[in-house]
Structure 1
């Protein structure tokens, strides 16, 4: 764990490249020191774990990806690799522009997710699709290369999405509660630094505050106020760990005119003051 904090680094794709595919093995894991430091990516990452385990820290949560599992990472998530243990996996890296808009929306609605364990048949199908995508990726001189690559990758993404969606919504069609909760989640992600009131989110969605709270509590088990606080505290934790901003600067960046109120909120939610959190996580 680093002893000092710097702005959160972002690892980007080379210019004019929107898709990259790899089969990562133990021998190819050398020289990946950059991913062992906390960072964001400029791309969406989909990993299919074939063998061994990959252990990561994602927004202060430990994630262990085991064999026959798939895992999706959104560009907004701060993460680092803790360890690779005899790991073999496929990685698909794709930027916003290369994703179908409907797939982009579905992926954003899913975030954050845990690794998803696959049954034998599904794992075999995804492995075969990934292998085909890799072969097409390597055939850079093929006619219609860009179209072949993008279409094959979208097939792979759709297959992964279908598994996450089946887990999230095992019933046939999303309920009204599900639809409203997703709309709230999108609005929260866009406005959490400027809107702190459940009533204002309800107004944006053209529904009453009690009904919004009912929908969100039904789908998540938590209130709208809880979701708002958690999103603010997550961003505060990121900034406390990864930036040199003072507590007052972080409070203002998150939309709080009164930094002492921000400090009280952070302490109430996490059980420690912002400075205690920064000190504890930089030890």
Structure 2
């Protein structure tokens, strides 16, 4: 069931995500998918990054209103805040990896050296990657390493898991066909990350590039230059996309009316919100909601 009754969707933190295995850390969790799929309430959001590897099985997976087929050797990637809903066959087997932004971004002690190597952003990985048997076998060595370290808990095991996780993400970007290139300016990457973090916190109230630039203590031009170089988009476009994504989520997963959604997203005029939404999606909010009702069938 995708559409709710207007109640708020559950939002999980790793600390209260004890489905499939006990929680060892508030920053990293590893569990069998077959245990989690039968106990977790769907749909829901996470406050952490989430990777699901379907080793075998079938079904479908809806991430932010986009429906993906579930088949053997499928990787699913979800960033914090994304809404997803699983419908899996009884024989589905796989793994679920969850980690906080702090675990991935700040695990290395020497952050200066970290910024001088090529940066691979989680957000640049597609939501879904379908692997061949050979590709899955290659990545399984990485997953086996994570599993062994997680179960063994020997000295420094979280640092080793971080290294395996980084390899997993880099290889996943390659499998996804994303044209990732080395980023020459680490400053642009770091500024873009700070901007995306602020945007995630304030997108419901702040839509102005100048305000974000002020919060980051940089000029608008510097912010736009950084996001163009690191993310391939202007700051204004990233703000619009984030606001419209949330509008789509609310239209799909709640019964909140358009005027209330406009208010939640800091639009004073519902008509102006509807015009912005139509410009972004090609449909009115009402038409968009109706077009997605078939996903719950």
Deviation at 1:238, TM superposition (A): 1.1
Name the residue aligned to 1:269: 280
Instruction: For 1:156 and 1:70, locate their aligned partners in 2 and report how far apart those are by CA, in whole Å.
Output: 18
CA deviations on 1:160-192 (whole Å, 9 max, x unpaired) are 224435758653865332222222211211111
Give structure 1 stretches of 5+ with no counterpart: 137-147
8 A contact 1:24–1:90 mirrored in 2 = yes
Instruction: For 1:252 and 1:149, locate their aligned partners in 2 and report how far apart those are by CA, in whole Å.
Output: 51
2:223 matched to 1:212?
yes
Name the residue aligned to 2:9: 8
8 A contact 1:198–1:224 mirrored in 2 = yes
Q: Out of 45, 70, 84, which is 1:79 matched to?
A: 84
Cα 1:131–1:179 change in 2 (3 A) is closer
Name the residue aligned to 1:145: none
2:232 matched to 1:202?
no
Matching of residues 1-283 of structure 1 within 5 Å: 2=2, 5-6=5-6, 7-10=8-11, 12-14=16-18, 17-18=23-24, 21-24=30-33, 31=38, 37-41=42-46, 44-51=49-56, 55-63=60-68, 70-83=75-88, 87-93=92-98, 99=103, 102-103=106-107, 110-111=122-123, 113-114=125-126, 115=128, 123-133=139-149, 135-136=151-152, 148=153, 152=157, 155-164=160-169, 167=173, 170-171=181-182, 175-283=186-294
Deviation at 1:263, TM superposition (A): 1.4
How many residues are paired up? 267
User: SS at 2:205's partner residue?
Assistant: coil
Instruction: For 1:68 and 1:4, locate their aligned partners in 2 and report how far apart those are by CA, in whole Å.
Output: 31
CA deviations on 1:175-229 (whole Å, 9 max, x unpaired) are 3322222222112111111211112222222222123222222333322221111
Deviates more, 1:50-59 or 1:264-273: 50-59
Instruction: For 1:273 and 1:127, locate their aligned partners in 2 and report how far apart those are by CA, in whole Å.
Output: 44
Cα 1:162–1:246 change in 2 (3 A) is same
Deviation at 1:272, TM superposition (A): 1.2
Deviation at 1:82, TM superposition (A): 4.2
Cα 1:152–1:86 change in 2 (3 A) is farther
Deviation at 1:124, TM superposition (A): 4.2
Give structure 2 stretches of 5+ with no counterpart: 109-113, 115-120
Instruction: For 1:21 and 1:78, locate their aligned partners in 2 and report how far apart those are by CA, in whole Å.
Output: 20
Deviates more, 1:165-174 or 1:216-225: 165-174
Cα 1:279–1:14 change in 2 (3 A) is same
User: SS at 2:81's partner residue?
Assistant: coil
